Chain A
């Protein structure tokens, strides 16, 4: 593949990874979706990620979890219970996926990081869909948003894009990933959180690094 072609695909790859992660954190997998992860294109995809040095740890944990889950009677329900146990509770028991919880002094919901996201979305003429109805600093919303920005910027990574990944994501996602390990269950979502943190860190380093000369 030529370097120009790689560049073209590269921003699409980045965006699709952000969006894929957004999807994982949006809601639980239903029966069909779980099947794709236990034995279909989902599993393949995570295996591809596992081949990447930066993303290996998280991806392997997810694969290991999938193997454990697949032998259970109701694997997607078990996984849904895992999701709930980690993300749908409060910060003492798990890892609520909202920036405010990790970045505000009080640790409460809807603090300044939430306000920042609301302002940002407003400026961009965007709003969260009624169906989702989560505070704007939910990880899935932030990941969805940055995916859009990446596609918009294409090869020309904007300062705004770097800024967002650094200030709005990297500022709390590592702590979020650590928090997910408070809970012991299949490990799928803990792996996903680790992968998320690893990805963002590596991605940021990558887009800030100078491009190798041809």
Chain B
């Protein structure tokens, strides 16, 4: 007798399951539209604009926007972001925090179990904590001001939503500065009158036409121009292509001053001037020495346009306090550039029109203010500031700066500030002696040493006793330094809320995790070309929010609803009403200058093209008339010597640019006997910071044994028995990580690179645990650049590395939290 269907399940009565069966998950649907191939929609991103084919509710295909002549390969990673296994699918709360709230065991943060909650419950918990912290402590205990690169889209700008909602509830600690340009943006207003880093620069056509020499100083535009703050146009690449031709024709000499042979240098096939890491200031001081001694500097320019040269030059000639003459020989011993080469370099710069183009990584080191200041001094001595193709730029590698501006107005944004700033639920703005604003990179210091008084940009800051933090589209467990120190700090925080769409390490170290959706799951609008103002782009929603994710707009509206301010928060407008309002505002601002179609047509067409703009020279108006067009410095002139900074009395940032030895430095500097390798953690080539690291297939195009690459020198590798593709343990006194070795001739002895944005994945949450993926900030120094900017010093970092043997721990960075064994 066969096993009959009637004997299987014989003893079970259907009805006994009936009470245990929940509601059905399927209902009747409308007939699907006959859409055999799908629909093409337009959208944008930091990586550029594109068209996406959506079929059966899924993004199937992405192709570059036709106006983009130089699309980045990173478009291939976008689908992987949307469908990443690291997506946060539901609101989650750390289990121990769920049980005990602010009395939870905070040492468990980082790899604790999470429990799923409903949206209502999650927002309730968020709101209750805001209430508790405001009433039990006060505004000084809440820090909800850290920001990141967010996603693109002016309506759904995540930082704006967080700040507006929280500000409508009460006061809190804010920050000043950012991790990108903290030192640079703080020093440059004293020197040239603006931040310089976020300002349009001399147009590329003028540089190509007039410069005879271009100095790329620690600058890799070919790598960095792949991304942009708004929807990136990549218009700069057309000019870089022209530059490449001019280099080949020997019309323009381009010299890359850098320890590393950069992507740009290799693309342009230009010259390389090797320099020891972190020693740019001695090199520049010696250049100044040569210019001065050989009378190659423009005295008339300095007399007319600059202040304080006479107070600065004794430092160079050896007649200053330190009595050290900054000769090329003096500089050679530090920077590794031969004295004669330094002299030749200075002479070359003075000979013809020279354009100096600085990158940002150089100011992300200790005393990062100095190389920027000194660069401006050299430029002033050359006397070409304000001439087309001369002077100095600190931003031609960023967001299409250098592409001429059309002058068109872009769309505004969802407001960051409350409409009625005084009308908060909690009106208490007594910070009890703590500062209400802190330098952005000093928040970990605040948690570890509350009450400590530090100097920052002429003021005294009393670091607040932070109890609760809220992060929205911000990943400090990527961009802040010294992971193990952060772990310590996070033992002290009572409550951490993170809003994001992917399980970053920041989310893993949080208590309440709220799933936002990606920018492709909502409708929005963006400026096409942050500085060129090329156009306006429609960001047409590709698919509905996945899983239980919501837009930032919805999330913070829900929060505002808790304290009765929903209508005020949204101004009574939904998503598309906001998109239209921002568009209409743009139309009004461009009236008479740029013709724009009505909103419906714009949305259907997908974009408005403003074309190209006229050429422009930075500081030309100042040069033309320094009285009328005075710079924004205290005197209105270029300040080689700053009386204001001098009066602050800071040891590590004085009245004029100086060389300060670093806390740690390779190539003969402090600590180099123990840790001989300089670890450079510059912006990645195949990510936007940490964004796109979670795109599995795309990460596979560069990961080595599933880990982040470490680029190393062949000789250094050989000495350590390391072959290309080996796993490497990288370490110093602050931490250790595993990375995959890539031997490259672009890297000189004593230099290694791990790109920042590599997702942190420690083996466990104990302090000192090895990072399994290769996050360089496991090893970096958490110290302010100086008392001026108190900015990040990530590139002041020395390490050693060795071949890793034995069984390598699995990578833990991706896919969400997991419990510790």
On A, residues with C-beta under 8 Å from B are 3, 6-7, 9-10, 12-17, 19-20, 22-23, 26-28, 36, 41-42, 44-45, 48-49, 51-52, 54, 74, 77, 80-81, 83-85, 88-94, 96, 101, 106-110, 114-115, 118-119, 121-122, 125-129, 132-135, 140-141, 144-145, 148, 183, 202-203, 205-207, 209-212
Q: Tell which of A89, A144, A212 has the most Cβ of chain B within 10 Å.
A: A89
Minimum CB–CB distance for B25 against chain A, Å: 5
Inter-chain contacts of B805 with A (CB < 8 A): none
Q: Which residue of A lies closest to B87 (CB)?
A: A109
- CB-based contact A19/B26 at 8 Å: no
- CB-based contact A210/B2 at 8 Å: yes
Instruction: Report how far A91 CA is from B696 CA in the complex, Å.
Output: 13
Inter-chain contacts of A106 with B (CB < 8 A): 696-697
Given known A88-B89, A88-B92, contact A209–B28 (CB-CB < 8 A): no
**In-complex Cβ contact of B58 among A9, A115, A145 (8 A):** A115
Inter-chain contacts of B95 with A (CB < 8 A): 77, 81
- CB-based contact B11/A209 at 8 Å: no
- Check if B415 is an interface residue, CB within 8 A of chain A: no
20 contacts between A and B (CB under 8 A): A6-B6, A9-B13, A14-B9, A16-B17, A17-B12, A19-B17, A23-B21, A36-B19, A88-B114, A88-B116, A88-B816, A90-B86, A93-B818, A126-B27, A127-B26, A141-B25, A202-B8, A206-B3, A207-B5, A211-B4
**In-complex Cβ contact of A85 among B16, B815, B819 (8 A):** B819
- Check if B719 is an interface residue, CB within 8 A of chain A: no
- CB-based contact A45/B116 at 8 Å: no
- CB-based contact B11/A51 at 8 Å: yes
Main secondary structure of the interface of A (DSSP, over half): helix
Q: Which residue of A lies closest to B816 (CB)?
A: A89
**In-complex Cβ contact of A121 among B10, B20, B26 (8 A):** B26
Inter-chain contacts of B28 with A (CB < 8 A): 125-127
Given known A81-B95, A84-B113, A92-B815, contact A52–B8 (CB-CB < 8 A): yes
- Check if B18 is an interface residue, CB within 8 A of chain A: yes
On B, residues with C-beta under 8 Å from A are 1-6, 8-22, 24-29, 31-32, 56-58, 80, 83-87, 89-90, 92, 95, 98-99, 113-116, 546-548, 696-697, 810, 814-819
Minimum CB–CB distance for B695 against chain A, Å: 10
Instruction: Report how far A205 CA is from B9 CA in the complex, Å.
Output: 13
- CB-based contact B9/A119 at 8 Å: no
Inter-chain contacts of B29 with A (CB < 8 A): 121-122, 125-127
- CB-based contact A49/B21 at 8 Å: no
Inter-chain contacts of A10 with B (CB < 8 A): 5-6, 9
- CB-based contact B99/A74 at 8 Å: yes
Instruction: Report how far A97 CA is from B815 CA in the complex, Å.
Output: 14
Main secondary structure of the interface of B (DSSP, over half): loop
Inter-chain contacts of B16 with A (CB < 8 A): 41, 44-45, 48
Q: Tell which of B1, B14, B15, B83 has the most Cβ of chain A within 10 Å.
A: B14
Instruction: Report how far A136 CA is from B673 CA in the complex, Å.
Output: 59
Inter-chain contacts of B84 with A (CB < 8 A): 108
Q: Top 6 A-B pairs ranked by shortest CB distance?
A: A90-B815, A127-B29, A212-B4, A93-B818, A23-B22, A12-B14
**In-complex Cβ contact of A89 among B5, B10, B24, B817 (8 A):** B817
Instruction: Report how far A107 CA is from B21 CA in the complex, Å.
Output: 30
Given A20-B20, A212-B6, 17 more A-B residue pairs with CB atoms under 8 Å apart are: A13-B12, A16-B21, A17-B17, A20-B17, A20-B21, A22-B21, A23-B21, A45-B17, A91-B815, A93-B818, A109-B83, A110-B58, A114-B58, A119-B56, A125-B31, A129-B25, A212-B1
Instruction: Report how far A168 CA is from B391 CA in the complex, Å.
Output: 67
Instruction: Report how far A45 CA is from B17 CA in the complex, Å.
Output: 7
- CB-based contact A209/B5 at 8 Å: yes
- CB-based contact B25/A77 at 8 Å: no
Given known A9-B14, A115-B56, A121-B29, contact A85–B21 (CB-CB < 8 A): no
> In the complex, how many residue pairs between chain A and chain B have their CB atoms under 8 Å apart?
189
Instruction: Report how far A17 CA is from B515 CA in the complex, Å.
Output: 33
Instruction: Report how far A110 CA is from B26 CA in the complex, Å.
Output: 18
Instruction: Report how far A12 CA is from B18 CA in the complex, Å.
Output: 10
Minimum CB–CB distance for B83 against chain A, Å: 5
Inter-chain contacts of A83 with B (CB < 8 A): 116
Minimum CB–CB distance for A209 against chain B, Å: 6
Given known A7-B6, A20-B17, A115-B56, contact A81–B24 (CB-CB < 8 A): no
Given known A6-B6, A89-B818, contact A109–B85 (CB-CB < 8 A): yes
**In-complex Cβ contact of B85 among A44, A49, A91 (8 A):** A91
Q: Which residue of B lies closest to A140 (CB)?
A: B25
Given known A23-B22, A212-B2, contact A92–B8 (CB-CB < 8 A): no
Inter-chain contacts of B4 with A (CB < 8 A): 209, 211-212
Instruction: Report how far A205 CA is from B2 CA in the complex, Å.
Output: 11
- CB-based contact B818/A94 at 8 Å: yes
- CB-based contact A144/B2 at 8 Å: no
Q: Tell which of B13, B22, B58, B114 has the most Cβ of chain A within 10 Å.
A: B22
- CB-based contact B26/A126 at 8 Å: yes
Instruction: Report how far A183 CA is from B20 CA in the complex, Å.
Output: 26
Inter-chain contacts of B26 with A (CB < 8 A): 121, 126-129, 141, 144-145, 148
- CB-based contact B810/A88 at 8 Å: no
**In-complex Cβ contact of A81 among B20, B115, B546 (8 A):** B115
Inter-chain contacts of B18 with A (CB < 8 A): 16
Minimum CB–CB distance for A101 against chain B, Å: 8
Instruction: Report how far A119 CA is from B3 CA in the complex, Å.
Output: 35
- CB-based contact A49/B27 at 8 Å: no
Minimum CB–CB distance for B518 against chain A, Å: 14
Minimum CB–CB distance for B815 against chain A, Å: 3
- CB-based contact B2/A110 at 8 Å: no
Inter-chain contacts of A109 with B (CB < 8 A): 83, 85, 87
Q: Tell which of A12, A28, A110, A129 has the most Cβ of chain B within 10 Å.
A: A110
Given known A20-B20, A133-B547, contact A203–B8 (CB-CB < 8 A): yes
Minimum CB–CB distance for B103 against chain A, Å: 15
Instruction: Report how far A98 CA is from B772 CA in the complex, Å.
Output: 27
Given known A88-B116, A127-B26, A133-B547, contact A77–B14 (CB-CB < 8 A): no
- CB-based contact A128/B6 at 8 Å: no
Minimum CB–CB distance for B810 against chain A, Å: 7
Q: Which residue of A lies closest to B813 (CB)?
A: A92
Minimum CB–CB distance for B645 against chain A, Å: 50
- CB-based contact A80/B9 at 8 Å: no
Inter-chain contacts of B14 with A (CB < 8 A): 9, 12-13, 15-16
Inter-chain contacts of A134 with B (CB < 8 A): 547
Inter-chain contacts of A91 with B (CB < 8 A): 85, 815
Q: Tell which of B5, B13, B25, B80 has the most Cβ of chain A within 10 Å.
A: B25
Inter-chain contacts of B2 with A (CB < 8 A): 209-210, 212
Inter-chain contacts of A203 with B (CB < 8 A): 8
Inter-chain contacts of A13 with B (CB < 8 A): 9, 12-14
- CB-based contact A80/B115 at 8 Å: yes
Inter-chain contacts of A211 with B (CB < 8 A): 4-5
Minimum CB–CB distance for A166 against chain B, Å: 16
Inter-chain contacts of B696 with A (CB < 8 A): 106, 108
Instruction: Report how far A140 CA is from B23 CA in the complex, Å.
Output: 11
Instruction: Report how far A42 CA is from B547 CA in the complex, Å.
Output: 29
Given known A91-B85, A122-B29, contact A28–B116 (CB-CB < 8 A): yes
Inter-chain contacts of B8 with A (CB < 8 A): 52, 54, 202-203, 206
Minimum CB–CB distance for A6 against chain B, Å: 5
Inter-chain contacts of A122 with B (CB < 8 A): 29, 32, 56
Instruction: Report how far A13 CA is from B6 CA in the complex, Å.
Output: 11
Inter-chain contacts of A44 with B (CB < 8 A): 16
Instruction: Report how far A80 CA is from B83 CA in the complex, Å.
Output: 25
Given known A89-B816, A205-B3, contact A23–B20 (CB-CB < 8 A): yes
Inter-chain contacts of B6 with A (CB < 8 A): 3, 6-7, 10, 212
Instruction: Report how far A174 CA is from B83 CA in the complex, Å.
Output: 24
